[in-house]
Amino acid sequence: MTIQWFPGHMAKARRQVTEKIKLVDIVFELVDARLPLSSRNPILDEIIGEKPRIIILNKSDLADPLETKKWVAYFNDQGIAAVPIVAQEGTGMKQLMGKAKELLQPKFDRRAAKGIKPRAIRAMSIGIPNVGKSTLINRFVKKNIAQTGNKPGVTKAQQWLKLGKELELLDTPGILWPKFEDPEIGKKLALTGAIKDTILQLDEIAMYGLEEMKIRNPEMLAKRYRLTEEELNLESPDLLMLISERKGYKDDYTRAAELIVFEIRSGKIGKYTLDIAPVSLPKRQDIKWENR
């Protein structure tokens, strides 16, 4: 299964981000904590360049907490600050602002020494679709100033938002890259909701998700769908058919697939991280990881 999705507005957004990057002090790069590597757009590295950045591992409540700690340590060892948050609940927001102030203190000290009046931090929110950029903004201002949705492609244009006296944030649309060299990355992004369901074969995504849950959360998978040990070991197409029948959907496998994908995304079959942190610490372009 090959998954590609690069709407025209993403190409436009990439150009706009490249033009506006010079206006900000720091970049907030949001990633999905379940996919700390696969949800990082490689195009963004060349756009961001040497600009200070913080990798924000959002939706950390859905990820394996041990793996999240490993990824934070990994990014720190690569010289990149990383903070896990749950934007929906506001968890980790103080740590995020604290880290931003820490990284930019030398710059603002230099400005003060020149007699330049202090001003708010200017940040850019950037990342792939559906990692929670708009939810992060709404949490900062404690109201729904940015449109959100549990689907990719909600934010269609850049917008400057003043968030109190400490922060001015440029929100940007999610940007995917034109081609996934590794089809496994496409599957991971599809399973976690970074790609629109309307262009996917949901039964294939559901079967991929079942195989991943067999590895990561077999007990919760069995409990959720009342599976015996023998049933749990069925091939994924047979398991999908069994779950469809058990839910009373008969031959409506699409409905069963939608249910399975939704329940995996929402954490009803347990916490999971699909990208396993590297044991060693190679340079990013040399990273390889294993699926457990």
> pLDDT of 149-208, one tens digit each?
444 444 445 678 887 788 998 877 777 655 566 788 889 999 999 887 777 789 999 999
Tell me: is residue 125 an annotated ligand-binding position: no
pLDDT over 80 (residue 288): no
Tell me: is residue 41 an annotated ligand-binding position: no
Q: How far is CA 190 from CA 5, 46, 117, 129, 248, in A?
A: 10, 25, 46, 11, 26
pLDDT value of residue 158: 65
Q: b/e string for 48-76 if b means 16 or more Cβ within 10 A?
A: beeebbbbbbbbbbbbbeebbebbbebbe
Tell me: is residue 135 an annotated ligand-binding position: yes
pLDDT over 70 (residue 216): yes
Helix/strand number for the chain, H first, E second: 11, 6
pLDDT over 70 (residue 128): yes
pLDDT over 50 (residue 284): no
pLDDT value of residue 245: 95
pLDDT value of residue 130: 84
Domains and CATH numbers, the chain: 8-180 (3.40.50.300), 201-265 (no CATH)
**What burial class does residue 89 get, using C-beta atoms within 10 Å of its C-beta: 0-12 exposed, 13-18 middle, 19+ buried?**
exposed
User: Token pair 């009046």 is at which residue?
Assistant: 117
- Residue 1: pLDDT band by 50, 70, 90 thresholds? low
Per mean pLDDT, which range of 145-149, 178-182, 227-231 is the poorest? 145-149
- What is the C-alpha to C-alpha distance for residues 264 and 8, in angstroms, rounded to an integer? 29
Average pLDDT, the chain: 85
pLDDT value of residue 12: 67
pLDDT value of residue 42: 82
Tell me: is residue 271 an annotated ligand-binding position: no
Q: Above pLDDT 70, what percent of the chain?
A: 83
pLDDT value of residue 281: 47
User: Token pair 């590794």 is at which residue?
Assistant: 182
Tell me: is residue 270 an annotated ligand-binding position: no
Per mean pLDDT, which range of 45-49, 61-65, 167-171, 174-178 is the poorest? 174-178
pLDDT value of residue 11: 62
Tell me: is residue 38 an annotated ligand-binding position: no
Tell me: is residue 98 an annotated ligand-binding position: no
For the entire predicted model, the pTM comes to 0.84
Per mean pLDDT, which range of 6-15, 62-71, 116-125, 198-207 is the poorest? 6-15
The more confidently predicted of residues 148 and 258 is 258
Tell me: is residue 58 an annotated ligand-binding position: yes
Reduced DSSP (H G I as helix, E B as strand, rest coil) percent helix, strand, coil of the chain, to 5: 45, 10, 40
pLDDT value of residue 227: 97
**Angle at 274 (CA atoms; ends 56, 266), nearest 5 degrees:** 75
pLDDT over 60 (residue 5): no
Dihedral in degrees, nearest 10, Cα atoms 93, 96, 101, 102:
140
Which whole number is the average pLDDT over 245-261? 94
- Residue 232: pLDDT band by 50, 70, 90 thresholds? very high
pLDDT over 90 (residue 144): no
Tell me: is residue 61 an annotated ligand-binding position: yes
Tell me: is residue 134 an annotated ligand-binding position: yes
- Residue 139: pLDDT band by 50, 70, 90 thresholds? confident
Q: Identify whether the C-beta of residue 253 lies closer than 8 Å to the C-beta of residue 203.
A: yes
- Residue 145: pLDDT band by 50, 70, 90 thresholds? low
pLDDT value of residue 198: 72
The more confidently predicted of residues 12 and 22 is 22
Tell me: is residue 8 an annotated ligand-binding position: no
CA atoms within 13 A on the CB side of 229: 0
Q: Which two tokens stand for residue 86?
A: 């749950």
